[in-house]
Amino acid sequence: MQFTREVFPETQRLLQRLYRQSRHHQVRQRAHYILLSSQDYSIAQLMEIFNVSRKTLYKGFGEQWNGKCT
């Protein structure tokens, strides 16, 4: 199970830029969540990588992703 659907190339470039250059840790972490999820990392793997709970991941994806797990 993963949180995200397909990420288009231009969106992926934007997420990579946010992950590398944002001043805000939370923005960088959310971008990283989405990038890894789009690369077919499972929720369990993301929980282990970021050392967070499922609830934290769920919140990290924000309102636009909630309820759209595939």
- What is the rounded distance in angstroms from the CA atom of residue 66 to the CA atom of residue 49? 20
Residue 66 has pLDDT above 90, yes or no: no
Q: How far apart are CA 51 and CA 70, in angstroms?
A: 22
Give this prediction's pTM: 0.75
Q: Which residues of 30-54 are buried (b: 16+ CB within 10 A; e: fewer)?
A: bbbbbbbbbeebeeeebeeeeebee
Give domain limits for the chain. Answer: 9-60
8 A C-beta contact, residue 31 and residue 22:
yes
pLDDT for 70 equals 41
Note the pLDDT tens digit of each residue in 14-40.
999 999 999 999 889 989 988 998 888
